């Protein structure tokens, strides 16, 4: 019987020794989720990680450099290579040199709204880049490919909670379309070449050192400047906010236990959507608690209610029962706890 231990988030988990001695490729290793995953693996396992990131300027590069410094400060078996997954020659050379056991593809151009004005970037990174990874795996087999999909693939689905059994044939943004494309490509390569793959549909990931274009981060920056924040769909939105540590825990569970089938899809979400106005008020309270806003700051005066943006959806809500059944894990970090940790980090990082 395997030992049961408690991890630092006080969630029950199994002693995961199966990853020890593995050589792991993590693309997007200086991104938000990629950096957290890299650090967790290096802290808890005897692994060799090769991290790849193109360090693009979609948002402030200094934040990516900060994450990379944090990884290097661990002084573990980590090799960082600056490169772009859309460069096939680079990817082919990488796989031929390192002979990976596991691949976690988190490199992608993110952002629903950015995809409306910059579609070419998404095709290059999310479609061509993922194709390059799959082709490399075809000729250099590994035990398991895990890749990032997105809750955006559900589009305007009316049925909630969103299930991986639902049809997702009507994406409302190009970003969502590229993520659905990834799932289809992975299925094809599994069918043709036996590549074992698991796609993970992430739901609104947030936390310290996250992406500045995400609502919680951009709202904070605007409020600290005394600017107004735009509340879309007049506040009538709900989001399944998922704390980054919960996302990483789910990935590690899947990496350790391995794929249930040759081709797999899971939601990773908090299974508890929050109203947008509740989210904004909770964020305001956490910013006040951590001294970023004064106690008498009037949040209502700094909100502007506006219509829904193109490509956006009113509700996201994850059905996480398959993940819980197959891997014994369900995200459980509360929104208040997660935003409080973000506010504390923001104060330390910027001040």
Active-site residues: which are they?
175
Give the three-class secondary structure for 315: strand
Q: How far is CA 159 from CA 163, 273, 318, in A?
A: 9, 14, 11
Strands of the chain (E only): list them: 4-6, 12-14, 23-27, 48-53, 78-82, 102-105, 144-150, 197-202, 205-206, 229-231, 238-239, 242-243, 263-268, 274-275, 303-305
Give the three-class secondary structure for 107: coil
Q: Give first-to-last CA distance, the chain, whole Å.
A: 48
CB-based contacts of 103, cutoff 8 Å, min separation 6:
24, 25, 27, 133, 137, 142, 144, 145, 146
Give the three-class secondary structure for 274: strand
């Amino acid at each position: 019987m395997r030992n049961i231990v408690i991890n630092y988030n006080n969630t029950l988990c199994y002693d995961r020794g199966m990853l020890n001695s593995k050589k792991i490729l993590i693309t997007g290793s200086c991104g938000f989720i990629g950096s957290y995953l890299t650090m967790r693996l290096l802290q808890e396992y005897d692994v060799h990680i090769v991290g790849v990131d193109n360090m693009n300027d979609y948002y402030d590069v200094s934040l990516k450099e900060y994450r990379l410094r944090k990884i290097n400060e661990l002084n573990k078996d980590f090799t960082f290579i600056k490169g772009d997954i859309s460069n096939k020659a680079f990817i082919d050379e990488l796989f031929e040199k390192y002979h990976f056991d596991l691949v976690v593809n988190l490199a992608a151009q993110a952002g629903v709204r950015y995809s409306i004005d910059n579609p070419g970037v998404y095709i290059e990174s999310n479609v061509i880049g993922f194709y390059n990874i799959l082709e490399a795996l075809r000729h250099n087999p590994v035990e398991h490919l895990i890749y990032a999909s997105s809750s955006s693939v559900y589009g305007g689905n009316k049925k909630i909670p969103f299930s991986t059994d639902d049809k997702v044939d009507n994406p409302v943004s190009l970003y969502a379309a590229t993520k659905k494309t990834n799932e289809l490509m992975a299925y094809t390569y599994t069918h043709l070449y036996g590549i074992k793959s698991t796609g993970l549909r992430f739901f609104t990931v947030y936390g310290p050192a996250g992406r500045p274009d995400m609502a919680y981060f951009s709202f904070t920056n605007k409020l600290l400047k005394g600017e107004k924040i735009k509340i879309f769909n007049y506040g009538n939105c709900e989001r399944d906010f998922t704390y980054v540590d919960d996302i990483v825990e789910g990935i590690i569970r899947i990496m350790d236990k391995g794929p249930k089938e040759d081709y797999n899809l899971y939601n990773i979400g908090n299974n508890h959507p929050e109203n947008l106005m509740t989210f904004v008020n909770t964020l305001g309270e956490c910013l006040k608690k951590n001294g970023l806003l004064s106690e008498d700051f009037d949040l209502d005066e700094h909100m502007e209610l506006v219509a829904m943006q193109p490509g956006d959806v009113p509700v996201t809500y994850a059905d996480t029962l398959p993940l819980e059944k197959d891997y014994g894990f369900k995200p459980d970090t509360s929104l208040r706890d997660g935003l409080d940790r973000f506010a504390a980090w923001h104060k330390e990082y910027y001040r």
